[in-house]
Amino acid sequence: MTKSVDAIIIGTGVIGTATAFELAKKGWKTLSLDRNAQIGHGSTAGSCAIIRMHYSTFDGTAFAWEGYHYWRDWADHLELARDADLAKFKETGCLVMKTDGNGHLVKHMENSAALGCPFEEWSSRKITEKLSIYSMESYAPARRMDDPTFGQSNGSLLTGAVFWPKAGYVTDPALSSQNLADAARNRGADFRTRADVTDILQDGGKVKGVKLANGEELYAPVVINIAGPGSSIVNRMAGVLEDMTIKTRPLRQEVVHVPAPEGFDFETNGTIISDSDIACYCRPEHGNHILIGSEDPECDPHQWVDNDVDYDRNFTDQWTTQAMRYAQRVPSLGIPSRARGVVDLYDASTDWIPIYDKSALDGFYMACGSSGNQYKNAPIAGKLMASLIEYCEAGNDHDTEPLRFRLPYIDREIDAGFYSRRRLINEESSFSVLG
Ligand SMILES: Cc1cc2nc3c(=O)[nH]c(=O)nc-3n(C[C@H](O)[C@H](O)[C@H](O)COP(=O)(O)OP(=O)(O)OC[C@H]3O[C@@H](n4cnc5c(N)ncnc54)[C@H](O)[C@@H]3O)c2cc1C
């Protein structure tokens, strides 16, 4: 059986569905494929879905600040009824501790100020007024639990933090992908689940379509790799890895869910907190729980995996390490004996900045390497991909003359070459999930 559409999109995560929506709005007939049974059930479903604006690079900050506005105006963005079953954005704000490791956030504040993105500086007194369960002892550098000095203060106190009031999180990230898919369907897009892509078909240096595990071939002049942690496998199928200086690789992550200390309503009074002093970030989780993720300190070996299907989905010592690190900040935290939370994969790039680009194969594009920090940017990444594809298909060479792309909400133009697969490694990156 053969079929022909304008573009095939591999992956129905939040970036895949956002790209389908944007291409459909431009009149493209798209077909999205996913090997999973449900839309949005790749790494998007495991995402902490934090929408923050502070990034170490100016371009990263501009993209994230633009991205926030789509979550704020979700129903309007989707052109769906406000009473539809939509993912919800909770605008809690995000508090980031000032540490030596993040240069006391000087650069982050400069970036935000230049973009008109609001922020406030908080003293340590204000922090403990708002978060009475918090201790301001400093523990850096982060350690493993078997280190005899684990849990011992280094003798100093944290001096303060910066609060970005517009930040928040989305309560159901898989539902947000499904919302985008519904919006794309309304514009004529097609979706197929349980469709496992096993080969990229080509003819004379140009992409021709994809082959599925059941032997079926589907044809399109444009194929887009938005396969999340499976991106490097799909790029290998297309034979496009050679000319990429930035590579992508699946990285295993554990996220901890623990109850908030008794008597403190973290769900209502808590916020998102990034704390590089203890190498943890956290946010409120429903049922008055606290969700704790890792900021990947040097002492934790990276858990690279070979592929995005077969990896250990059980919690390990890493779960306890993260919970114990957070208990340094919140001494009254109870740590249950039964581990709860999420085990999933980042699609980590060499410099932890994503790739939104064409490839060496004509008609084959990629949105990958999202490095644990691009959920927030999915709606604007979808717009960027749709513009980039039109720009290249019109005969422009994005490698030599990169697309200039306008961020509509904040009315700024960016050089889309920032996200090139062939860029020099960006030394301004934090080389961590913080981007
Ligand atoms: C634990 C965790 C926490 C995170 N927290 C945050 C956060 O707080 N804020 C933030 O901004 N970002 C966060 N992220 C990152 C964010 O979730 C991702 O950047 C985003 O979800 C990626 O979306 P995607 O559409 O690119 O990929 P995915 O959601 O992974 O979708 C890719 C899809 O491709 C499909 N696929 C792969 N290979 C094939 C194939 N060969 N054939 C058919 N289908 C295929 C998969 O089944 C999958 O459904 C986090 C990620 C993780 C893992």
Instruction: Give tens-digit pLDDT for 285-307.
Output: 999 999 999 999 999 999 999 99
Q: What separation in Å is there between the alpha carbon of 45 and the centre of ligand 1?
A: 7
Ligand 1 is surrounded, with C-beta below 6 A, by 10-16, 33-36, 41-44, 46-50, 196-197, 226-230, 234, 253, 255, 342, 344-346, 370, 372-376
Nearest CA to ligand 1 atom 36: 227
pLDDT band for 211, please (50, 70, 90 cuts). very high
Tokens in use for 400? Answer: 């030599």
**Integer Cα distance of 310 and 334 in angstroms:** 33
Which ranges of 309-372 does DSSP label H, i.e. alpha helix?
Answer: 317-329
pLDDT tens digits, residue range 366-417?
999 999 999 999 999 999 999 999 999 999 999 999 999 999 999 999 999 9
Atom of ligand 1 nearest to the CA of 34: 44
Residue with tokens 């499904």: 178
| Cβ atoms 52, 376 nearer than 8 A | yes
**Integer Cα distance of 343 and 401 in angstroms:** 40
| 277 residue type, one letter | D
Helix (H) or strand (E) holding 128: helix 124-130
Tokens in use for 316? Answer: 């390990």
Residue 250 preceded by cis peptide, ω within 30:
no
Mean pLDDT computed over 30-49: 98
**Integer Cα distance of 307 and 404 in angstroms:** 34
Q: Which residues pair with 163 in a beta bridge?
A: 95, 120
Q: What separation in Å is there between the alpha carbon of 272 and the centre of ligand 1?
A: 21
Tokens in use for 194? Answer: 């349980």
Residues contacting 17, CB < 8 A, separation 6+: 32, 39, 40, 177, 178, 180, 181, 184, 378, 382
* 295-112-105 Cα angle (round to 5): 45
pLDDT value at 337 more than 90: yes
Per DSSP, which regions of 280-402 are E strands? 280-285, 289-294, 341-349, 355-357, 364-368
